Amino acid sequence: MMRQDTSGHGRNAVEVRGLVKHFGDTKAVDGVHLNVREGTVMGVLGPNGAGKTTLVRMLCTLQLPDSGTATVAGYDVARQPRPLRRRIGLTGQYASVDERLSGFENLYMIGRLLDFSRSGARQRAYEMLERFSLTDAASKPIMKYSGGMRRRLDLAASMMGNPEVLFLDEPTTGLDPRTRQEVWDHTQQIVAEGNTVLLTTQYMEEAEYLADELTVIDHGKVIAEGRIADLKARVGQRMLVIRPAVPQHLQHLVGVLTHYGLAGTVADEAQGVATVPIVSDEQLSGIVRVLGYYNYPIADIATHLPSLDEVFLALTGQKTDSQDAGPPGSGPQGAGSGYQEAVA
């Protein structure tokens, strides 16, 4: 989903050089380098506790880095926080709007804090409400908003000042799939207008949907970066999950698929499934032929986009730490399991 580089300069709206942040003995962010070109969307992908939020907080001048430098819109996060703040928008993991105020009152207040005149703030607030489909709920207190409406209002609040760089820290974590789509649609609209966005997420699908480039971080370190297409070539476009009806067939099935050149095939004994990274449609039909040839009874067969765990497995050969704990709102099989699409 590469967009035209409208600025024509390809300058960096965000430059991060060796950023480090400790909390006690743990290094939350450990020497991160990162560039976000103007008018593009950078996805920062990582599990819970990878340091994504700490990174965003430093870039938004909410926390000071221990070492390293970072500039946002040309301003240094440590030395020029005030002009920097005028050029950014931040939508955090938890909706940062006032629960007791109405949608309009929230936006009007933000407008006044951004030095709009009274009438200017009012006008801009209504504009934003309209744009994020909240006009009907303008005078309702946020307490009565649904989760998706809150996130949208949060986005609207962040866009009030027409920021040069928008930070979205896990904008859809904890939302149900339908609401997630709503938020994505609005985010995509922001993106389509040529705004520079830095997005953190735990979901490969979200990064794929919204971002041009991806930085994968774990334990505060960058473990992979590049265009989504390049990373996916390394990870596999899709994952095929096959559940044999007879569990004893599993090992044999994996052996057969590996024999047919599908080197990434993994048996998950606990789940009773085999997972195969798929890079082409031909591979998929090849596998179906193989399954037919050996005449395995198949209980279930599905493809899904690689989950965060699978991306990590492919990039680092390790599972993420967060797998046991499980991030809130995700299924028992870890982040991304909600996106399975059946092969009809």
Cα separations (Å) of 47 from 179, 303, 311, 316, 325? 21, 22, 11, 13, 11
Q: Closest approach of Cβ 133 to other proteins, in Å?
A: 21
Query: Does position 124 bind other proteins by CB under 8 A?
Result: yes
Element (H, E) at 99: none
Query: Does position 81 bind other proteins by CB under 8 A?
Result: yes
Stretch that binds other proteins, among 69-77, 177-185, 231-239, 241-249 (CB under 8 A): 69-77
What is the C-alpha to C-alpha distance for residues 307 and 337, in angstroms, rounded to an integer? Answer: 7
What is the C-alpha to C-alpha distance for residues 15 and 74, in angstroms, rounded to an integer? Answer: 8
Which tokens go with 230? 């390049």
Q: Which of residues 127-146 bind other proteins (CB under 8 A)?
A: 141
Residue (of 256, 333, 261) closest to 302 by Cα position: 333
Q: Closest approach of Cβ 15 to other proteins, in Å?
A: 6
Q: Which of residues 92-111 bind other proteins (CB under 8 A)?
A: 92-102, 105, 109-110
Question: Residue 166 forms beta bridges with which residues?
Answer: 89, 197
| Amino acid occupying residue 107 | L
Residue selected from 86, 144, 234, 289 as contacting other proteins according to rule CB under 8 A:
86
Residue selected from 6, 67, 271, 285 as contacting other proteins according to rule CB under 8 A:
6
Query: Does position 161 bind other proteins by CB under 8 A?
Result: yes
What is the C-alpha to C-alpha distance for residues 26 and 220, in angstroms, rounded to an integer? Answer: 10
Nearer to other proteins, 194 or 272 (CB): 194
DSSP 8-state secondary structure symbol assigned to residue 141: B
Q: Could you tell me the maximum CA-CA distance found in the chain, to the nearest angstrom?
A: 74
What is the C-alpha to C-alpha distance for residues 314 and 235, in angstroms, rounded to an integer? Answer: 6
Binding flags for other proteins, 178-217, as an x/- string (CB under 8 A): ---------------xxxx---------------------
Query: Does position 341 bind other proteins by CB under 8 A?
Result: no
Q: Closest approach of Cβ 24 to other proteins, in Å?
A: 12
Kindly determine how many residues on this chain lie close enough to bind other proteins according to the rule CB under 8 A. 61
CA atoms within 13 A on the CB side of 239: 25
Q: Closest approach of Cβ 99 to other proteins, in Å?
A: 7
Query: Does position 39 bind other proteins by CB under 8 A?
Result: yes
**Residue linked to tokens 């809130």:** 328
Nearer to other proteins, 196 or 275 (CB): 196
What is the C-alpha to C-alpha distance for residues 141 and 290, in angstroms, rounded to an integer? Answer: 58
Residue selected from 29, 36, 60, 125 as contacting other proteins according to rule CB under 8 A:
60
Stretch that binds other proteins, among 89-97, 211-219, 312-320, 327-335 (CB under 8 A): 89-97
Residues 6 or more apart in contact with residue 45 via CB below 8 angstroms = 200, 201, 202, 204, 207, 214, 215, 216, 217, 308, 311
Judged by the rule CB under 8 A, the positions of this chain that interact with other proteins are 6-9, 11-12, 15, 17, 38-39, 57, 60-64, 69, 71, 73-76, 80-83, 85-86, 88, 90, 92-102, 105, 109-110, 112-117, 120, 124, 141, 157, 161-162, 164, 193-196
